[in-house]
Chain A
Amino acid sequence: MSAQKSLMGRFRESDFLYDFKRSPVTVVSFVIVVMLILLAVFADLVAPTNPFDAGSLNLMNGFTPPMQPNAFTGETFYLGTDDQGRDLLSAIIFGLRVSLFVGLTAVILAMVLGVSLGLIAGYRGGWVDSLIMRAADIQVTFPSILIAMLIFGIARGLLPPHMRDELAITVLIIAIGLSEWVPFARTVRGTTMVEKEKEYVQAARLIGLGSGQIMLRHILPNVLSPVLVIATITLALAIIAEATLSFLGVGAPPTEPSLGTLIRIGQDFLFSGEWWILLFPAATLLALALSVNLLGDWLRDILNPRLK
């Protein structure tokens, strides 16, 4: 009880909070990210309609401009509707949920993979290190979106047709996760190589602890702070990658549209004057990716003592 209080007290007096409050850009970014995450989590409660419920859609509502009553049904939509008569605001909220879910899980996958490989490469050294790091080198030569598309393509080729849509999201997560592990592995490998020479690791080896235990219990906690920064920046990248893949039509299926899918749909109608179908999802994506990125930048500056 008292320990928790002192933790809160320490947080209130910390440099972290002080620096945070001093940077208005960061505060705004943080508020935007938190709002968007809350919207995504409580999409069912917040969204005016459920865009996935095909029965509630009225084709007559199609192409309603924002804040104007529909010519046939008289219904008004805050952000207008798309070609199917789907309420754009609801579609964006639910799309946000897909985008954030895919982004977050992909980053977690990339992080687990990258941190584990980085730890092993740095701790083992020798040919294991060479093998893992050369694989990383080869991977960064290709743009990550290309790798994600490759993985996506292979998975779709291997899966039976009826499972493709069901597993599209999973495949998307794996594709993005596998294409973003390299920065984690490189950073963790470097820090691990420094940490493993320190005497506390020798002391742990001395009492006969195995490499696995030393890596997990001793080295891992000491290499995690740069990982936090990379995870934040990678989250922005993953969200954009997801949107790009969905925009290209190889990502989230139309039955479960993400922001990228909505942008693709909107793009079809941009030149026929229905600008809102493209603009609002694109603006949401921009706000999300930019805010996450700015948060990541700030975190990187804060956690790097040399920049202070």
Chain B
Amino acid sequence: MSDFIRVEQLSRRFDLSEPWLVRMIYRKPRRFLDAVDNVSFAIERGKTYALVGESGSGKSTIARIAVGLLGPSSGRILIDGHNLHDRGLSEAEHRRIRQRLQMVFQSPYASLNPRWRVGNILAEPLRTFSLVDGRQAEQKRVNELLEQVGLSASDARRFPHEFSGGQRQRISIARALASRPDFIVCDEPTSALDVSVQAQVLNLLKELQRDLGLTYLFITHDLAVVRVMAHTIGVLKSGQLVEEQDTATLIESPKSDYTKMLIRSAPRIRDDRPIIN
């Protein structure tokens, strides 16, 4: 039992108050939103943990906190025993932790800088973390990354708009792999893709997990994706974890009413209802 990442009593509160002056004039109180409320879970090394829930349930907030893009309001995240948000860490230690965390984003269109060639996009983490020496080693590693995700070395010279959605998501995955991370947060990585392409991307992610021993935190609302990918599922509702089970158990015999509703509302291929157009 080796937990790679432990999320302990994580909460995140957002301040949605009007500006100070407006509050004074209209006598409005401050308003807060508890996007994440006392959530704890752990992911074993090499496993996939899926957070499911409707939009606004706080799953993306957890994803952002888990990679350090956002800070927690309270609680902590331990990555292999190191506190990710520990202010006392030196810059070098932060770098070392950051290098092990990566993220694959939802939109294949917004996640790649449209003005950069794919080769540069992939080389950026290599340069930032000084992982390669010299142009040649850099190019070699970029080609290796492209091939690892099923693209070809010649694609390095092209721009993101020359690729399809699925190919772009592969580039995103290659960028995430560049710093040789242990842990990748996938924030709805397939929700913007066609179903046929979704399967390819999911298969790629599974292969990479097997070959590289990656740990995934999967954020999704798509139960079909969860079923294929996840070892364990956590169900989020308004910022709280309402249920946590291994995948088979959760899908076969959900405990909470909310989970039952989520499973019922997932669209199935075979549907007895008449199609009305």
Contacts and interface: CB of A to CB of B under 8 A. Distances in A.
Interface in A195-215: 198-200, 202-209
B113 A200 contact: yes
Interface string B89-130: 000001100110111011100111111100000001100110
A203 B98 contact: no
B18 to A, nearest CB: 14
B68 interface: yes
B85 to A, nearest CB: 14
Contacts of A300: none
Most buried by B among A208, A209, A218: A208
B67 interface: yes
B208 to A, nearest CB: 18
Nearest to A208: B98
B254 to A, nearest CB: 32
A221 interface: yes
A222 interface: yes
Contacts of A202: 69, 103, 105, 111
Nearest to B68: A206
Nearest to A218: B113
Contacts of B116: 221
Nearest to B175: A203
Interface string A220-241: 0110000000000000000000
Contacts of B98: 206-208
6 contacts: A202-B69, A202-B103, A207-B128, A209-B128, A218-B113, A222-B113
Given A199-B106, A199-B107, A218-B113, 20 more contacts: A199-B105, A199-B110, A200-B112, A200-B113, A202-B103, A202-B111, A203-B103, A203-B172, A206-B67, A206-B68, A206-B102, A206-B103, A207-B99, A207-B125, A207-B128, A208-B94, A221-B113, A222-B113, A222-B114, A222-B115
